[in-house]
Structure 1
């Protein structure tokens, strides 16, 4: 009696392994960027109070070039921290512009650790305040405003 062979050939297995390798090579960097962007969201969460306080200081006329965390009713920069945020510093640069500087940490990535995200709040009398994002973190990781 003749037995029928069952199973996969070597070439079929090699093709499957090659396809999995290609998919992994594409998916891994995309996943790493995705998780980094998720971690960066902590920056915008911790900056929200400082941005709001700069808006309030502008509206009540107390925003100036010497405005700092304490003037905005916030804790010292080094005591506002998170898992991925080392400090949050709010400062006025003029009577109509304030900045919130956030120093990042804990990413195990030299492109981000120790770098900063800077929110610039520009206010116009009789209008609203506009917030823009900048800093030394790569632009693809900037949190939303």
Structure 2
């Protein structure tokens, strides 16, 4: 009898099928994990902007909707986050004047848009607005 070395074609095909099944489960999960992790590109600057808004309020008795008043570089009315995944704008909270509340909206750009937009305000609102319009607490 001859000793055979190596793998048969059937064994290789079974192995490839198992790897394909595992990859089809793992890749979408990793993509969602990656999107959630990239939110920090907006969360950290938004918190810093809210802190700067409080300092601005202490000096002026009002918040500002112009982020350049806080020393940020603004292009087209929005501040672009360091990695470019979000554009942050400031506006009034609903119908309240800027002397009461300011709301920051971080609009996702490019592939990050699948994750949704972040909304923070000085009343401690911290939500993720999904593409269907629903909001999820952070």
Query: In the alignment, is the contact (CA less than 8 A) between 1:58 and 1:96 conserved in 2?
Result: no
Q: Could you list the runs of 5+ residues in structure 1 that have no partner in the other structure?
A: 123-129
What is the rounded CA distance, in whole Å, between the counterparts of 2:47 and 2:35 in structure 1? 19
TM-score between both structures, scaled by the size of structure 2: 0.68
- 2:114 aligned to which of 111, 116, 119: 111
Secondary structure at the aligned position of 1:118 is classed as: strand
Report what 1:26 is aligned to.
Answer: 25
Offset of residue 14 of structure 1: 2.4
Query: In the alignment, is the contact (CA less than 8 A) between 2:104 and 2:121 conserved in 1?
Result: yes
**How many residues are treated as equivalent by the alignment?**
129
Q: Deviations over 1:27-57 (max 9, x none)?
A: 1111111222232211112212221133445
Report what 1:135 is aligned to.
Answer: 129
What is the rounded CA distance, in whole Å, between the counterparts of 1:44 and 1:31 in structure 2? 20
Distance change >3 Å, CA 135–CA 76, structure 1 → 2: farther
Distance change >3 Å, CA 73–CA 4, structure 1 → 2: closer
Q: Does 1:102 align with 2:120?
A: no
Q: Deviations over 1:70-98 (max 9, x none)?
A: 58624364362133345321233334432
Q: Could you list the runs of 5+ residues in structure 2 that have no partner in the other structure?
A: none
What is the rounded CA distance, in whole Å, between the counterparts of 2:127 and 2:107 in structure 1? 13
Secondary structure at the aligned position of 1:87 is classed as: strand
Q: What value does the CA root-mean-square deviation take over the aligned residues?
A: 3.4
Offset of residue 21 of structure 1: 0.7
Distance change >3 Å, CA 71–CA 34, structure 1 → 2: closer
Query: In the alignment, is the contact (CA less than 8 A) between 2:128 and 2:137 conserved in 1?
Result: no
